[in-house]
C-alpha cells in the first residue's frame, strides 16, 4: 500500500497518450510495454473489487464479475487513492461518471497536481457524454466564482445543458437566477415556474422555494396558508430542511399556533434525515426542558450527533458539558 501511494504522488501527471500506454492497477503507474517498469506486474493484471481475487482474464475466476464491472465498483470507492487508477482508466475509455470524478481530482489537487483547466476539460467531456451532474457542477463553479471568474451567463448556459438532460436540480438553479436577478432580469413568475418544474421532477427542496414565494408574495399574492401547505409538502416529499423549518415554526409559533409537541416531532423527522440543525435543537430542548423533561445526558447525545453531522456550535456545547 505504501509503495502504491508513493508512486501515486511521484507519477501523478498524465503522460502523453500513446497507443502502448496503460495504467497499472497494481502500483498506479502509467506504463508502456507488457510489464510495468515500476512494480513488474503484467499489463492485464487486475484485482476484483468485489472479492479481491487477482486475475488476468477479463472475468473474475472466483466470483464471475467482469473487469469492467470491477473497475466501476473500484472507481466509486470512497478511498480516493484506491479509486484513482480505475477512475483514470474508465475516464480514458469515455465513461462519463469517471471523467466527472477525474475532474474533481484535478480541481482539488488530490493525487494529481492541481490544474483547473484540466478539471474544467474533464467536466465538459463528462457533460458532453451525458452526465448532468458535470454540467451542474460547472454551473455552480461559474455561479460562485470558485476557481474561475464569476460568470452568470456561463453558469446559466451549463444549467440549461443539465436541464436538457432532465435535471431537476438545474430547474431550481435557473429559478434562483430569476428570483435573484443574477445575470437575467428579475422575474418572480419565471422563477416560480422553474421551481414548480423542479418540484414536479422530484426535487423536494423546490417546494420550499415555492413556499417562500407565497410567503413573500413573489410572483403570486402573499398567502401564508398556502406557504405553510407547501412547506408541509416539501417535508412530506423528504426534504430535511423543510422538516427542520416546520419544527422551528411550531416551536416559535411563527405562521402557526405554537405547539412544542409538533415542533419536536418535526425536528426528530429532520434529524432522522441527517439535519444537524434539528439535532442541535433537540439537544437544546433536552438541556432546557423545552417541551420535554430536562435530561442532560439526552441533550449531550443530541449535541454529539449534531457535532458529528457538522454543527460547530453543537461541538462547542458538547465539549463544554463534557
pTM of the shown model: 0.84
pLDDT given for residue 4 in this prediction: 45
| Residue 35 DSSP SS3 | strand
Handedness of CA 24, 29, 30, 35 (dihedral sign): negative
pLDDT given for residue 1 in this prediction: 45
pLDDT given for residue 14 in this prediction: 39
pLDDT given for residue 167 in this prediction: 97
pLDDT given for residue 57 in this prediction: 95
76-115 confidence digits (pLDDT tens): 999 998 899 999 999 999 999 999 999 999 999 999 999 9
What is the set of domains in the chain, with CATH numbers?
95-158 (1.25.40.10), 167-225 (1.25.40.10), 239-322 (1.25.40.10)
Identify the segments of the chain with pLDDT beneath 50: 1-19
How far apart are alpha carbons 61 and 249 in whole angstroms? 59
Tell me the H-state helices in the chain. Answer: 2-10, 67-75, 80-92, 96-108, 116-128, 132-144, 152-164, 168-180, 188-200, 206-216, 224-236, 240-252, 260-272, 276-288, 296-308, 312-321
First-to-last alpha carbon distance for the chain, in angstroms, is 38
Query: What count of other Cβ atoms lies within 10 Å of the Cβ of residue 19?
Result: 5
| Residue 187 DSSP SS3 | coil
How far apart are alpha carbons 90 and 122 in whole angstroms? 12
* 149 to 104, 125, 291: CA distances (angstroms): 18, 20, 49
Amino acid at each position: 500500500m505504501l509503495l502504491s501511494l508513493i508512486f501515486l504522488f511521484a507519477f501523478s501527471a498524465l503522460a502523453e497518450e500513446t497507443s502502448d500506454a496503460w495504467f497499472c492497477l497494481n502500483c498506479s503507474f502509467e506504463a508502456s510495454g507488457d510489464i510495468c517498469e515500476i512494480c513488474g506486474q503484467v499489463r492485464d493484471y487486475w484485482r476484483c473489487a468485489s472479492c479481491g481475487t487477482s486475475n488476468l482474464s477479463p472475468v473474475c475466476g472466483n466470483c464471475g464479475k467482469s473487469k469492467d464491472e470491477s473497475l466501476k465498483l473500484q472507481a466509486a470507492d470512497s478511498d480516493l487513492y484506491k479509486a484513482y487508477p480505475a477512475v483514470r482508466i474508465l475516464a480514458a475509455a469515455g465513461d462519463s461518471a469517471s471523467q466527472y470524478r477525474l475532474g474533481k481530482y484535478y480541481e482539488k489537487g488530490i493525487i494529481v497536481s492541481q490544474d483547473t483547466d484540466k478539471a474544467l476539460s474533464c467536466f465538459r467531456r463528462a457533460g458532453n457524454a451525458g452526465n448532468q451532474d458535470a454540467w451542474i457542477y460547472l454551473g455552480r463553479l461559474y455561479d460562485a466564482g470558485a476557481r474561475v471568474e464569476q460568470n452568470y451567463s456561463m453558469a446559466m448556459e451549463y444549467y440549461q445543458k443539465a436541464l436538457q438532460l432532465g435535471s431537476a436540480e438545474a430547474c431550481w438553479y435557473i429559478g434562483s437566477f430569476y428570483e435573484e436577478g443574477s445575470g437575467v432580469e428579475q422575474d418572480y413568475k419565471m422563477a416560480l415556474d422553474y421551481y414548480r418544474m423542479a418540484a414536479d421532477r422530484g426535487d423536494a427542496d423546490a417546494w420550499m422555494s415555492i413556499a417562500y414565494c407565497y410567503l413573500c408574495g413573489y410572483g403570486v399574492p402573499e398567502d401564508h396558508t398556502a406557504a405553510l401547505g407547501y412547506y408541509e409538502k416539501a417535508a412530506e416529499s423528504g426534504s430535511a430542511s423543510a422538516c427542520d423549518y416546520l419544527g422551528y415554526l411550531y416551536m416559535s409559533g411563527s405562521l402557526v399556533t405554537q405547539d412544542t409537541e409538533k415542533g419536536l416531532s418535526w425536528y426528530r423527522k429532520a434529524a432522522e434525515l441527517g439535519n444537524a440543525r434539528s439535532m442541535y435543537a433537540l439537544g437544546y430542548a433536552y438541556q432546557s426542558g423545552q417541551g420535554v423533561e430536562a435530561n442532560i445526558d439526552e441533550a449531550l447525545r443530541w449535541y454529539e450527533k449534531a457535532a458529528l453531522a457538522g454543527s460547530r456550535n453543537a461541538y462547542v456545547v458538547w465539549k463544554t458539558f463534557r
